[in-house]
Amino acid sequence: MEDQELPYVLIDCIGGKHGVYEDHTEFLKTRFCLITMKEYLENKKFLGEKIRAIFMWYHKPVIDEELLQSLPNLKVVASSGVGIDHLDLNLLSSFGVKVSNTPFVVSTDTADLGVALMLASARRLVEGYQMAVSPDTEYFPADWLGVEVSGTALGIIGMGTIGYKVAQRARAFDMKILYHNRNQRNKEEESAVGAIYCKKIDDLLQQSDFVMLAVTLTPQTHKLIGKRELELMKPTATLINISRGLVVDQDALVEALQNKVIKAAALDVTYPEPLPRDHPLLKMKNVTITPHIGSATKETRRLMMENMTENIQAALTGLPIPNEVLL
């Protein structure tokens, strides 16, 4: 009796800037027959009929109507990470294709990074490092100061899994924790982290020393923070974004930082990514930017890949998909 054929799964490529990690492929190849986009394009007629899933890593391969029309037996798109703004869910649904993501495995590392950005910005770590290693430094000035974090107010916009884990960490700094969310969390969850619900985002913005964005990008959150919202913040406040760049009106942010409407910003996400090398945000000392590394640890990326594998296997065997994205 012949061994059962492994399911054919489309990937963009292996290795390189956006490919599936080479050290993940051994695991994946025991479960799937991996087909790169190059291989698919060279043999579309045969492989188009065989491919049943797409393993979408770093938003690749790009999925459009033409691709979907050429994959008649496609059942599921497994996307890495939390955000799904790169996918047309209505289009996929019209082809009967299910979608999954990996929302829970990224939450711990992303929350860690959010707190790291808050601390780095408050204590001016990037500037401090540059001063410490500069060949021009002769002494460390006594009046070179950051701002305190402990005991201040942190406003979290988006109290999902990531936002809640940020609150857990912030409590260790004796911070007053405010949050704004579509739905208020239950009293037990609020009490566990000492969080206070702000039904209106304006109340949170006016009271917070640090404002952290942990929302998903949707039409409702697109440019959620603009000129009006920035002007509601304290002039001593810092904006931290660990969600998506388009949650913030970037031009309004530049203007607010230049005019000292707010004190500083710490951003793991921008638009585009990376920013043009002459962008004003890259030249500001009161801006800390990291290259979208919220989930970028070896452990989390491995778990992400394993989660995507579980999602695909469930979809192909008719079982409930653990992390299915619903319209």
Which residues are known catalytic residues?
A: 244, 273, 292
State the amino acid at position 264 in one-letter form.
Answer: A
Measured from the Cβ of residue 194, the count of other Cβ atoms closer than 10 Å reads 13
Q: What CA–CA distance (Å, rounded) separates 118 from 170?
A: 10
φ and ψ of 187, to 5 deg: -60, -35
Angle (CA) 116-119-122 rounded to 5° is: 145
Chain centroid to CA 83: 6
* Contact between 213 and 241 (Cβ < 8 Å): yes
**Gyration radius (Cα) of the chain, Å:** 22
Strand-by-strand arrangement of the 33-36 sheet: 33-36, 8-11, 51-56, 76-79, 98-100, 324-325
| Beta bridge pairs of residue 266 | 240, 288
